[in-house]
Amino acid sequence: MTATASLLVCRGCCCGTDDPDRAATHVDALRAAATSLPGGRLTLTSCLGPCSERDVVAVRHRDTGRPGRPLATTWLRRVDDAAVRALCEWVTAGAAGYVPAPLRRHRFEPADGDVADEDAISVSDRVR
C-alpha cells in the first residue's frame, strides 16, 4: 500500500481569520506537503466543525504503520506555526504510524454531532 494523505483544512467562520496572511502561508506549506505524495491533496472547506476548536485540520491517511487500519482520520485543532511545521514533516513522510509528539497536544476526537455533515461541507481552492 502506498503512503498518501489528504488534508481537509477548515476555513469557516473562525478558522484562519485571526491572521489571514499567516493562514495563507499555512495552506501553502500544507498543500506542498500533501501534494508531494502520490495521490495527496489539500482541500479547503467552509466548515469542518467543531467551531469551538478553531483552526481544525483533518488528515485522511493510509496508515501503513498499524495493520488492520488501512484508512484513518487524524483530527487536529488549534493548528499554529509549530504544528504546521510538524504536520508538514509527518505528511511528507507519508503520515503513517503514530502521531508525532509535537502534534499530540493538537489531536482530538470529535464528539458525535461536532463534525459538520458531509452535505454541509463546501469546498474551495481559494485561500480566503
Which positions ≥6 away from 62 have C-beta within 8 Å? 1, 2, 3, 4, 5, 70, 71, 72, 94, 96
User: How many other β-carbons are positioned within 10 Å of the β-carbon of residue 109?
Assistant: 8
- Tell me what pLDDT residue 65 has: 55
Domain count, the chain: 1
Q: What is the mean pLDDT of each run of 10 residues along the chain (128 residues)?
A: 81 82 94 91 87 88 59 88 96 87 93 53 41
Total-model pTM: 0.81
Sign of CA dihedral 124, 125, 126, 128: positive
User: Which pLDDT value is given to residue 114?
Assistant: 57
Range of the domain at 101: 5-124
* Amino acid making up residue 3: A
